[in-house]
Chain A
Amino acid sequence: MQSLTNRSKVVSNKKMTWTERMYIPAILAGLRVTIYHFFKKKVTVQYPEQTREHSQYFRGRHVLKRDEEGRENCTACGLCAVACPAEAITIVAEERKKGEETLYREEKYAAEYNINMLRCIFCGLCEEACPKDAIYLTTTISTSDYHRDQFIYTKDMLVDGIKDVDRIDISSRRKGVREGAM
């Protein structure tokens, strides 16, 4: 019968010859393989001390950015929450009061911004949906914890630092840079 694909292989079930049944040569060949691996360079990455280099576009835990004057970019439009396929983001919006202009860039801001890290799949769609350059995924690996409620990241854990040194560098992820690279 003609085979449907060219991937079929003829399997031989012939009896082993006398030398093959001695097994000793085969065992010696096996021992050679293992001793070769014994002296080979090890592939282990000793994690806490050594880390593997991430891709420039690695999607780790989120950061809520501020503008140059230290005001939060987020305007609580909710586009990230809508874009999120895992429904991990919840936002409570509030109107900016007089005197809060130094804190928030737009007239509306997110009073609460929670990301459930157990739901998050790190797809980066929130980052793509954001019209205000507010949310970015960083190269930081999100940490593990012992309790489920510890995984709901609140705003104080997500917002970027005010001082320049505290800010997380996401320049490689800015839309223009990324498209240019691609």
Chain B
Amino acid sequence: MELIIFKICLVLVLFLLSITIAAYSTFSERKVAAFMQDRIGPNRAGPFGLLQPLADGIKMIMKEEIMPADSNKLLFILGPAISMITALMTSAVIPWGPDITIGGEKVQLQVADINVGILYIMGVLSLGVYGIMIGGWASNNKFALLGAVRASTQMISYELAMGMSIVAIIMTTGSLSLGNMVEGQNGWHGMGWNIFLQPLGFLIFLICAFAETNRTPFDLPESETELVGGYHTEYSSMKLGFYLFAEYINMFLSSAVITCLYFGGYNFPFMDMVQANTHEILFALMCVGVFLAKIIFFIFFFMWVRWTIPRFRFDQLMNLGWKVLLPLSIVNMLITGAVILYNQ
């Protein structure tokens, strides 16, 4: 019973955390963009402009809701809903910290430690395409449809390379559970991160993560300059807000997955010495803090790249996905396999 209450609390906390981080991502995106362009950025709403996300949210909700006359009403609403739900679902399997004891019982800081965690993430990610595809199709607009087609093509293409680079990680860890994967990286005083074993795999995964979240240089589905707004051209009010929000939540959770898979999750240098000298709860909080810091760095990296690199052309995108990343990830998998076989 206690366990269920704890998990429900965890779910609520995670939900609020995702929403808050996504809201502040929109704000920090504008700040980062401004800083990289030698500007200051939003600083009028509240101290340092910290209330800007609130103002944006209120604006989004208050805006008039427009539905195209010839659109499919049900699917039109379903699109952003699916996007939002799938974006939020990913956080369920991410291990946020080490186990803690509550009332003499060991509990994991994870909503569900399912033994196919990484497969679950891949599955939910591919479901996310439906949100964009359905929304773009139901809009009854050529720009929206083109954006949706681009989005689905891109996501399906890059999922292959992504899956292949994850296979290499699964081979070294010997488990599909994200919890085990993170625990497996605490060797060398908490520095046995997979990035040192799988640099090529990390690079491929990172590029694919950019493509999966529709971030620059792979933001072709939205590409304001060519497609007006891509799949959300016809959307207004909070439905548009949901699409944009889902993108930022996706960014947050891909950063979390990257951290879990390659940067040791909540592991940090000399954590075994810290663990021996501090209280269990304090130690768990430290781990969560480290994990969040790593995630925030990756969110910043996503933004940093966005304001550095221009957009790909669609044929270049397909070339990179199919002719470069997929073969490279297969080679990476074969090398990993050979090394494991040699070490046996």
Residues of A within 8 A of B (CB): 24, 27, 30-31, 33-35, 37-38, 40, 42-44, 46
Are A31 and B38 interface neighbours, CB within 8 A? no
B36-47 interface bits toward A, Cβ cutoff 8 Å, 1 = contact, 0 = none: 111110000000
A31 to B306, CA, bound (A): 10
The reply on B273 being an interface residue by CB < 8 A is: no
Residues of B within 8 A of A40 (CB): 38
24 A–B contacts, CB within 8 A, in A order: A24-B203, A27-B305, A27-B309, A30-B308, A30-B309, A31-B304, A31-B305, A31-B308, A34-B36, A34-B304, A34-B307, A35-B36, A37-B35, A37-B36, A37-B37, A37-B38, A38-B32, A38-B36, A42-B35, A42-B39, A42-B40, A43-B38, A44-B38, A46-B40
A56 to B104, CA, bound (A): 78
| Size of B's binding interface in residues, CB under 8 A | 13
Residues of B within 8 A of A24 (CB): 203
Besides the contacts A27-B308, A37-B36, A44-B39, what 5 more A-B pairs have beta carbons closer than 8 Å? Answer: A30-B308, A37-B35, A38-B32, A38-B35, A43-B39
Residues of B within 8 A of A (CB): 32, 35-40, 203, 304-305, 307-309
Are A34 and B308 interface neighbours, CB within 8 A? yes
Are A35 and B37 interface neighbours, CB within 8 A? no
Could you tell me the distance in whole angstroms from the C-beta of A16 to the nearest C-beta in chain B? Answer: 13
Q: A-B pairs with the 6 shortest C-beta distances?
A: A30-B308, A44-B40, A34-B308, A34-B36, A38-B35, A43-B38
Q: Which residue of B lies closest to A24 (CB)?
A: B203
Residues of A within 8 A of B304 (CB): 31, 34-35, 38
A40 to B37, CA, bound (A): 10
A33 to B309, CA, bound (A): 11
Residue among B36, B39, B304, B305 having the largest count of chain A Cβ atoms under 10 Å? B36
Q: Which residue of B lies closest to A29 (CB)?
A: B308
Could you tell me the distance in whole angstroms from the C-beta of A65 to the nearest C-beta in chain B? Answer: 39
Could you tell me the distance in whole angstroms from the C-beta of A155 to the nearest C-beta in chain B? Answer: 38
Residues of A within 8 A of B203 (CB): 24
Could you tell me the distance in whole angstroms from the C-beta of A57 to the nearest C-beta in chain B? Answer: 29
Residues of B within 8 A of A43 (CB): 38-39
Residues of B within 8 A of A27 (CB): 305, 308-309
Q: Which residue of B lies closest to A35 (CB)?
A: B304
A37 to B32, CA, bound (A): 10
